[in-house]
Amino acid sequence: MVAGDIVLTGLMAVLLVGVAALLTRVENWRSYTPLAGGGAVTGDETAVINREKPAGIIRWLTTVDHKDIGLLYGVYAVIAFAVGGIMAMLIRLQLVTPAGAILSNNAYNSILTSHGITMLFLFGTPIIAAFANYFIPLLIGADDMAFPRINAIAFWLLPPAALLIWAGFFLAPVTDNMIEPARTAWTMYTPLSVEQANPGVDLMLLGLHLSGVAATMGAINFIATIFTERNEEVNWANLDIFSWTILTQSALILFAFPLLGSAIVMLLLDRNLQTTFFAVEGGGPLLWQHLFWFFGHPEVYILVLPPMGLVSLILPKFSGRKLFGFKFVVYSTLAIGVLSFGVWAHHMFSTGMDPRLRASFMAVSLAIAIPSAVKTFNWITTMWNGRLRLTTPMLFCIGFVSNFIIGGVTGVFLASIPVDLILHDTYYVVGHFHYIVMGAIGFAAFAGIYYWFPIFTGRMYQRTLGKAHFWFSMVGTNITFFAMLALGYLGMPRRYATYQFDGAIAPLTQVSTFHQAATVGALILFIGQLFFVWNIVQSWLEGPKVEDGDPWNLERDGMLDREFQWFEEQLEADSPEKDPSLLADGGQEEQNDS
Amino acid sequence: MAEEPGLSDQYPTASPWPLFVALGLALSEIGVFVGLFPVAVFGLILFGGSIAGILTESGYVERPWPTLLGVGVVLIILAAAFALWQVPVADIALSNVGTGPLFTRLVAVAAAGAVMIAMGGVASVMEQTAA
């Protein structure tokens, strides 16, 4: 132990000296010019600035530009999506046979836990932050975010968060299984999560806490940006729909994530310092469920509102019509935001809580269907009689609406107490929320990536590969998650690593068949994502350069938004024939006459 | 200003500090909660130092050293308050470091605070005498 401490002290000392040395190399601590409030450097300093950003890796490690940070978020989220997706494939392959095909029960539980946390906290929240960082300042005509440095801090908290959440997988082989991956499921219910002595659970909780701190810092930044940094032409009446959803989402984050952080600290204290917040003699195990779902249900809307905003922004562009009932889409966003804090106990109907309380939560949960349906009908009426152009982003938007209807309607049934008591903790719940998180949120993220691909890469993606990606994803999603709905009706409980039941509990043959169908669907989905990765990487490197600032021909319908106008200005500034002295940020001078 | 300009003076959209604020916070959390004494101390020093750096860089304060000293004082007060509140007075002794789960963690926080006060104090004095 003493030797370990000395080694650790040495390591930390080397790290700190290294950091200090690096900082003195790149930064002169005495040369600072006061620029509180993020104002530009003035006066004779202009002689010093020859470029916007340093070159190479230092640019990415030190950037406080919202567009760079948006790209960092995007790359991070796509990597997390790949990790979470591989975990999902392992889960599906395991369940091909009732006895489990490839994993031990412990490994299955670890992967199941990490899949959920990875997808929600390391893919879902960051991919939304990626779009918001890159495009909110452009859409509202701001120079940058209100707090550019806090923006960078929020991003840089995420890589350590991911390493901590996955720490058990890396540390188990080197610590002789002393530190293992957490096996608490993403909900971390007590008493299970208090009693698992494994230090990997502590590391996972710390990682989750850091990701919560990051999300809160980001939310404060978006609220301040949308309130204070708007261009004088942008007012509340003509604020775009994506900014409205990000504003609402940020408000939800502001109330929900600090609560998750506090609950996690309480859980850590229970685990390490013998407090009794969630012990029977203290607050009781159910207190965790209340605190967790008071965060957890708004989290669902934190994840789905901005994707709804993306669809509301993109779908009209390829329908040739303005968003139908814009005002009501905004009102429904705000209504969902408010109602989302009054539904948390619908996750707890089967815990034996007071039936009168239960009924009130059922009423509010059912009421959320109304604003959600308002949005759905508005998307459909936007397309009605429109001049539809089935580009890849449009296909993903339509896929979103279709999957959202199935995911939403199955949710209405679950909100009803008697139905929930039967379907609770079955695959029906898993199918329902995967229709939303993959079928809707994932699809909207893809729509956003394809729609704005010309802006952030300056190139065009390959259309055929994009369409293949859509169709594989659509078919795969529906096979996988519809099979899960059927599994739920058959009584298959969720989270199990094996399912060798007594035939009296569930019809084993049908259960196996639907599990196999779900696995086939997952394989189709997986192949679709290979098209996506190939398309994005190859097109980014070699795709045809976009010459026109309006690649989607939006001007014809008068729907060219501010971000594409900005893009057009960048293209003009980058074009050396027009004015060689004007080189936009990140652009490289190219000699065409040689 | 005779010195060479630093990175964040040359480039208006670059700052070296956010990365280290985040790394410092992450290491502090791991150190304090998991109970790794050296990680807690160095993590907190990195965190406090980066806060001092980022505040100076963005012009909210003129020099980093008083901030560093201030963060150190806050940490020591926090650690002392928790010790008086949660640890029996008889157990507060140097010989008990490494025994109680809470006490050892508080000593780590206080040690980081003490180092920051020392660094901030010495640097302030040196800067003033050099000027």
Looking at the predicted structure, is the pLDDT value of residue A265 above 90? yes
Which residues of chain A make contact with B10, given a CB cutoff of 8 A?
A: 48-50, 54
Please tell me the least confidently modeled range out of A116-120, A289-293, A442-446, B54-58: B54-58
CA-to-CA separations, B2 to A31, A296, A436, A506, B11, in angstroms, rounded = 8, 55, 59, 80, 18
Domain ranges of chain B: 18-130
Among candidates B29, B56, B102 on the partner chain, residue whose Cβ is nearest the Cβ of A29: B56
A241 and A222 Cβ atoms separated by less than 8 Å:
no
Task: Scan residues 8-37 of B and list those with Cβ closer than 8 Å to A.
Answer: 8-23, 25-27, 29-30, 33-37
> Which tens digit of pLDDT belongs to each residue from A234-258?
999 999 999 999 999 999 999 999 9
Decide if A58 and B11 are in contact by the 8 Å CB cutoff.
Answer: no
The C-alpha of A523 sits at a distance from chain B's nearest C-alpha, in angstroms, of 37
Which is more confident, A512 or A3?
A512
* Size of chain B in residues: 131
Q: If you search the block for the tokens 């600090």, which residue do you land on?
A: A258
For A37, which residue in chain B has the nearest alpha carbon?
Answer: B58
Query: Tokens 């650790």 belong to which residue?
Result: A8
**How many angstroms away from the CA of A210 is the closest CA of chain B?**
7
- How far B78 CA lies from chain A's nearest CA (Å)? 17
Confidence of residue A468 (pLDDT cuts 50, 70, 90): very high
CA dist., res. A438 & res. A176, Å (int): 36
Residue A236: CA count within 13 A, CB half-sphere = 5
CA A398 to chain centre: 20
How far CA A63 is from CA of A32, A153, A210, A586, in Å, comes to 17, 10, 20, 12
Q: Take residue A448 and report the two structure tokens written for it.
A: 């956003």
Query: Which of A409, A533, A399 lies closest to A473 in space, CA to CA?
Result: A399
Average pLDDT over residues A259-265: 96
Chain B interface disruption, residue of A52, A59, A61, A62, most B CBs within 10 A: A62
Of A12, A64, A272, which has the smallest distance from its Cβ to B101's Cβ? A272
Question: Quick one: pLDDT at residue A501?
Answer: 83
| CA atoms in the 13 A half-sphere facing the CB of A288 | 23
Q: How far is A266 from chain B (nearest CA, A)?
A: 12
- In the chain, the amino acid numbered A26 is V
Q: What is the mean pLDDT of chain A?
A: 92
Q: Closest Cα partner for A220 from A304, A154, A174, A139?
A: A154
Mean pLDDT of the region A500-524: 92
Instruction: For chains A and B, count residue pairs whose Cβ atoms are closer than 8 Å.
Output: 164
The more confident residue out of A326 and B59 is: A326
Distance (Å) from the alpha carbon of A173 to chain B's nearest alpha carbon: 20
Mutate to test the interface with B, among A19, A165, A266, A276 (most CBs of B within 10 A): A19
Residues of A in contact with B37 (CB under 8 A): 5
Task: Give residue A35's pLDDT band: very low, low, confident or very high (50, 70, 90).
Answer: low
Q: Which two tokens stand for residue A437?
A: 């998180």
From the list A205, A95, A192, A103, the residue with the least C-alpha distance to A521 is A95
Separation in Å, CA A558 to CA A95, A467, A563: 51, 26, 14
Residue window 100-129, chain B: list those with CB within 8 Å of chain A: 101-102
Nearest to A89 by CA among A534, A442, A529: A529
Residue A145 in 3-state DSSP? coil
User: Rounded to an integer, what distance in angstroms lies between the CA atom of residue A443 and that of residue A497?
Assistant: 28
- Record: contact A273-B4, CB cut-off 8 A: no
Q: Which residue has the tokens 């309480």?
A: A266
pLDDT at A530 over 50: yes
ipTM: 0.93
What value does the CA radius of gyration of chain A take, rounded to a whole number of Å? Answer: 25
pLDDT exceeds cutoff 80 at A325: yes
**Which letter does DSSP use for residue A441 in this model?**
I
Q: Please name the member of B18, B33, B38 whose beta carbon is closest to the beta carbon of A5.
A: B38
- Which residue type does A259 have? L
CA distance A394 to A445: 12
Distance CA A574, CA A523 (A): 43
What is the arithmetic mean of pLDDT over B15-26? 95
Q: What percent of chain A clears pLDDT 90, i.e. is strictly above it?
A: 85
Give the model's pLDDT for residue A455.
95
Taking an 8 Å cut-off on Cβ atoms, the answer to whether B58 and A35 are in contact is: yes
Distance CA B6, CA B63 (A): 15
Which residues in chain B are contacts of A217 at CB distance < 8 A? none
Segment A524-547 mean pLDDT = 96
Using CA atoms, how far apart are residues A480 and A519, in angstroms rounded to an integer?
7
Q: Is the pLDDT of residue A47 over 60?
A: no
Contact assignment for B18 to A149 by CB distance below 8 Å: yes
Q: Show Cβ contacts of residue B117 under 8 Å, excluding neighbours closer than 6 positions.
A: B69, B72, B73, B76
**DSSP helix/strand/coil, A426:** strand
Contact predicate A246/A171, CB 8 Å: no
State whether A149 and B25 contact (CB < 8 Å): no
Q: Alpha-carbon dihedral of residues A402, A404, A408, A409, nearest 10 degrees? A: 10
Asked whether the beta carbons of residue B4 and residue A23 sit closer than 8 angstroms, the reply is no
Are B1 and A40 a contacting pair at CB < 8 A? no
Confidence of residue A217 (pLDDT cuts 50, 70, 90): very high
Distance CA A303, CA A306 (A): 7
**Interface contact B67, partner A, CB < 8 A:** no
pLDDT digits (tens, 9 = 90+) for A359-389: 999 999 999 999 999 999 999 999 999 999 9
What confidence score (pLDDT) does residue B35 get? 87
User: What is the model's pLDDT at position A594?
Assistant: 38
Alpha-helix runs per DSSP H in A95-198: 105-117, 125-139, 148-156, 158-165, 167-174, 192-195
Residue A39's pLDDT is 45
